[in-house]
């Protein structure tokens, strides 16, 4: 404990909440990527004021700070690449204000996302953004990455539910943004500048979130198709009619093979090469109307089977194939490279054709599924690094994938973000003027470069 | 025509589209405020590339540029306070791409807002933001101010429908922001940084806008109340149940008096002191369910009359009182100071009580109405500047109003913006750290300070 910054942090939070032991440092050296990077110290502040103190100490000693929610991110955003301190928000999990009549909740950034929604449920309200990790991820991480989820197709993403933020800039200044009303146009939109900035502009300590009425009922359709092309055509018909579904999830033939190998999806008809899950929600009276419209839209070339589930048990049975995908893909190879590219919905067939080409030309295992209503697919390249050249072929596959996505009018990431993993692809998508302005905005908020270094921006 | 900047602009656009005649300069010296400010030249570019050229000339000669849509703004945002050039986007009114299957439209920023919605209507889609000026205002102005409108209570504001922008910074650089997909998290959100920045960061030349399914049907309820307090209690009940209405418009007793003086609203029961208009929209089947829920919510203390309109004719009859308000208030006094403050919905009674106090203590005519479901009221102070001290009393009234709004957790503007009119109140709302960061962001985008000078920021 010779480093004066570490000593100052320890004296600020005490030994229980400023940890330098090997076990704790190892625990906070990783996220949901295979990479590892050891911090020098792990900090567990309780309050905004403590975060201010931490940042002021870090600024004084130029110590890198890496903010962390639950560490469930897929792009290395929470890895302390430059060492320094990990600032874990796990202990900042207080609900500061819940005002159902104003349809808002104000929380510390360490609150668990699903728990926020559960509080709202007590007044038949809802916090819609629901990334797959919502039972354990923290709202601060969702804000940093602008998290999405399957219901984004109807309800939008994290950005759309943030009224205001409290944060600490890289100079240790407290920044208040936004409003607590549903409208407000005073000044530049710093709220949405911070959302999605991946902890590089400021550490978010509090958020005022907008709540909406909770849907009374939901129902589910599961449609099996003879080919991915037929399923994509159905997605386009679904998104081309007036009843916006609450989820449109897609699984390709490789996904179906993976879950079949685990013994799931036994009830699919022979020849099923793609699956769609289409969910609707709303008032109980609206469900039959919505279902009828969606069943009509799904009908078409290549449909092999269409099942509906209106009660909870039958819906869970229909979701089973989709839910078994994550363990199924993890069992396929030691390394899963999980991309979340987006293309315009009419371009989904182009994207899937390119993935087939990559699979065949580069002899790679690729499993693709995801939020087809947003054109947002999770493309998982399953790699065994011990096999000669496989990592290099995966890298070439990613290059091909990203170029196809951008040529189709798409974007490199719909919800995972850039982090450290995708930073060298950012310049393919953003124009130099935009990138330069972003670098200079970063310098304004964090002139010392201590906030989450090594993220978002390409290597220079 | 000695000024070399004017000569360069004239040679760039030609005399038809670079106007220095007194008539044209006078026409473009005003917006929907009483103030006037003469530009030296009025420019009518046709294309993004022409805008780049204009800004490069202006940058070279340090000539102020004031962007302008239809000039329908209420806060002096389009006034060329520092002289220089007005850049009118009226001739940039092309639809560049309409892709109903992608639910998007890409337009030049001079397109008329309602016309964008009309194009979408041909595919049963809709562009929801509908400021009162939508039949003649330009989308670029809506983007600059983050315009709202009565339907914001259900559909949100301009910001929520922008996928991406093309713009020209104060250095004449072309900036592309955003995506054309419904999700995207690559880089900082420069799109929403530009939306609401009132032309001070960049001149927006193109926008890619998100479209949504068009509601099939709508229905209207009109409720007369014995007092504003009773009407506010009903607004709270309406916003506290699960069927989000598509509009919740409020008129106070002074508004009713004004329209009665014009001969309208004769069918209101005696003793009506406040009126609510509550609209629902959606699929035809959903309308009766929504209406039933809202009728229940509206029922309560002080309700004198509740009428419903389900066909177009009866709805128009019910809207008549509300629609006659604008001409009615214009007839009341030479000067209308039109504020659009917002408070949390439960604080509406506090706001209305403060307005009563201001009216009585300062002997002012004040007519208040607006988007009560968002807590967003238009507070119109009607002033005859020829009456001794009346302008000064109005100024004191505004001070009182703004302080009440901020003390209630509200914001100074829900949809009109800051412009030149409210700039000296901004520091009451924004904290110094946020304001300082905004000034420095302005310097990044417009280091020469040529874009819409004299707007948004307080005098230093």
Contact at CB, B243 and A283, closer than 8 angstroms = yes
A311: domain CATH number is: 3.30.70.2190
B117: domain CATH number is: 3.30.465.10
Query: What pLDDT does A209 receive?
Result: 98
- Could you tell me if A110 and A207 lie in one domain? yes
Q: Is B430 on the interface with A (CB under 8 A)?
A: yes
Closest partner residue to B187 (CB to CB) among A99, A180, A434 is A434
Distance CA B63, CA B66 (A): 10
Can you tell me whether residue A116 is helix, strand or coil?
Answer: helix
Contact at CB, A101 and B179, closer than 8 angstroms = no
Query: What pLDDT does A286 receive?
Result: 87
Residue A158 gets which letter from DSSP? G
**What is the tens place of the pLDDT at every residue in B34-92?**
899 999 999 999 999 999 999 999 999 999 999 999 999 999 999 999 999 999 999 99
Query: What pLDDT does A2 receive?
Result: 57
Instruction: Identify whether B393 is part of a domain.
Output: yes
Instruction: Identify whether A440 is part of a domain.
Output: no
The answer to whether B388 and B363 have CB atoms below 8 angstroms apart is no
> Which of B39, B67, B88 represents a domain boundary (last residue)?
B88
Distance CA A236, CA B102 (A): 9
Q: Is B188 on the interface with A (CB under 8 A)?
A: yes
Nearest residue to A110 (alpha-carbon basis) of A193, A205, A210, A208: A205
A18: domain CATH number is: 3.30.43.10
Number of domains in chain B: 4
- Could you tell me if B62 and B152 lie in one domain? no
> Which of A395, A417, A439 represents a domain boundary (last residue)?
A417
Nearest residue to A160 (alpha-carbon basis) of B157, B37, B407: B157
- Could you tell me if B344 and B289 lie in one domain? no
Q: Is B266 on the interface with A (CB under 8 A)?
A: no
Distance CA B240, CA A124 (A): 10
pLDDT by 10-residue block (mean), chain A, 460 residues: 86 97 97 94 98 98 97 95 97 97 97 98 96 96 97 97 98 97 96 98 98 95 97 96 94 94 88 97 90 97 95 87 84 91 97 97 96 97 94 96 97 96 94 97 98 94
Instruction: Identify whether A426 is part of a domain.
Output: no
Instruction: Identify whether A263 is part of a domain.
Output: yes
Query: What pLDDT does B390 receive?
Result: 95
- Could you tell me if B312 and B252 lie in one domain? yes
Q: Quick one: average pLDDT of B247-266? A: 92
- Could you tell me if A37 and A143 lie in one domain? no
- Could you tell me if B147 and B250 lie in one domain? no
- Could you tell me if B189 and B256 lie in one domain? no
Q: Give the CA distances from residue A135 to residues A112, A131, B66, B105, in Å, rounded to whole numbers and listed in that order.
A: 7, 9, 50, 37
Query: Structural domain of residue A28, as residue ranges?
Result: 5-88
Chain B partners within 8 Å of A188 (Cβ): 193, 196-197, 201, 438, 441
**What is the tens place of the pLDDT at every residue in B280-307?**
999 888 899 899 999 999 999 999 999 9
Write down the ipTM of this complex: 0.96
Distance CA B201, CA B451 (A): 7
> Which of B183, B213, B243 represents a domain boundary (last residue)?
B213
Instruction: Identify whether B456 is part of a domain.
Output: no
Interface test with B, best of A177, A178, A185, A289 (most B CBs within 10 A): A185
Chain A partners within 8 Å of B376 (Cβ): 181, 183
DSSP assignment of A196-244 equals: TSTTSSEEEEEEEEE-EEPPSEEEEEEEEESSHHHHHHHHHHHHTSSS-
- Could you tell me if A153 and A180 lie in one domain? yes
pTM across the whole model: 0.97
Instruction: Identify whether B397 is part of a domain.
Output: yes
Distance CA A322, CA A258 (A): 11
- Could you tell me if B142 and B33 lie in one domain? no
Instruction: Identify whether A422 is part of a domain.
Output: no
Contact at CB, B101 and A159, closer than 8 angstroms = no
Query: What pLDDT does B148 receive?
Result: 96
Instruction: Identify whether B434 is part of a domain.
Output: no
- Could you tell me if A199 and A223 lie in one domain? no
Residue A179 structure tokens: 């409003």
Min Cα–Cα distance to chain A from B202, Å: 12
Min Cα–Cα distance to chain A from B333, Å: 28
Residue B356's Cβ-side half-sphere holds a number of Cα atoms within 13 Å equal to 11
How many CB atoms within 10 Å of residue A122?
A: 10
- Could you tell me if A80 and A106 lie in one domain? no
Per the model's pLDDT, the better-predicted residue between B109 and B332 turns out to be B109
- Could you tell me if A273 and A221 lie in one domain? yes
E runs forming strands in A75-194: 85-88, 95-99, 104-108, 125-126, 162-169, 174-178
The answer to whether A168 and A386 have CB atoms below 8 angstroms apart is no
Band the pLDDT of B2: cuts 50, 70, 90: low
Stated as kind and residue range, the H or E segment containing A256 is: helix A253-261
Q: Is A411 on the interface with B (CB under 8 A)?
A: yes
The answer to whether A33 and A79 have CB atoms below 8 angstroms apart is yes
């Amino acid at each position: 404990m010779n480093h004066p910054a570490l000593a100052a942090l320890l004296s600020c939070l005490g030994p229980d909440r400023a940890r330098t032991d090997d076990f704790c440092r190892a625990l906070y050296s990783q996220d949901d990527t295979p990479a590892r990077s050891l911090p020098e110290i792990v900090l567990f502040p309780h309050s905004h004021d403590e975060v201010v103190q931490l940042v002021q100490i870090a600024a004084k000693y130029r110590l890198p700070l890496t903010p962390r929610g639950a560490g469930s991110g897929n792009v290395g955003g929470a890895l302390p690449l430059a060492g320094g301190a990990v600032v874990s928000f796990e202990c900042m999990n207080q609900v500061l204000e819940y005002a159902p009549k104003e349809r808002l909740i104000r929380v510390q950034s360490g609150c668990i996302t699903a728990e926020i929604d559960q509080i709202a449920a007590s007044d038949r309200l809802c916090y819609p953004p629901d990334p797959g990790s919502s039972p354990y991820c923290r709202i601060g991480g969702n804000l940093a990455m602008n998290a999405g989820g399957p219901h984004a197709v109807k309800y939008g993403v994290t950005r759309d539910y943030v009224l205001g933020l409290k944060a600490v800039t890289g100079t240790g200044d407290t920044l208040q943004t936004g409003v607590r009303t549903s409208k407000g146009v005073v000044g530049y939109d710093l709220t949405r500048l911070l959302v999605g900035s991946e902890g590089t502009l400021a550490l978010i300590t509090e958020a005022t979130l907008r709540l909406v009425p909770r849907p009374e009922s939901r129902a589910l359709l599961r449609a099996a198709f003879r080919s991915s092309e037929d399923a994509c055509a159905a997605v386009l018909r679904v998104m081309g009619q007036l009843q916006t579904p609450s989820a449109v999830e897609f699984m390709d033939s490789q996904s179906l093979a993976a879950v079949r190998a685990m013994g799931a999806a036994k009830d699919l008809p022979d020849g099923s090469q793609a699956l769609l899950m289409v969910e609707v929600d709303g008032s109980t009276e609206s469900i039959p109307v919505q279902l009828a419209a969606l069943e009509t839209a799904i009908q078409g070339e290549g449909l092999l089977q269409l099942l509906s589930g209106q009660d909870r048990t039958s819906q869970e049975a229909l979701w089973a194939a989709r839910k078994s995908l994550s363990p199924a893909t993890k069992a396929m190879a030691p390394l899963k490279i999980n991309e979340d590219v987006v293309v315009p919905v009419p371009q989904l067939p182009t994207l899937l054709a390119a993935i087939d080409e990559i699979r065949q030309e580069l002899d790679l295992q690729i499993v693709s599924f995801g939020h087809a209503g947003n054109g947002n697919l999770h493309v998982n390249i399953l790699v065994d690094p011990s096999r000669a050249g496989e990592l290099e072929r995966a890298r070439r596959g990613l290059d091909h994938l990203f170029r196809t996505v951008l040529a189709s009018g798409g974007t490199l990431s719909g919800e995972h973000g850039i982090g450290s993993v995708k930073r060298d692809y950012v310049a393919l998508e953003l124009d130099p003027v935009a990138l330069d302005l972003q670098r200079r905005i970063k310098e304004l908020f964090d002139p010392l470069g201590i906030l989450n270094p090594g993220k978002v921006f390409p290597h220079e």
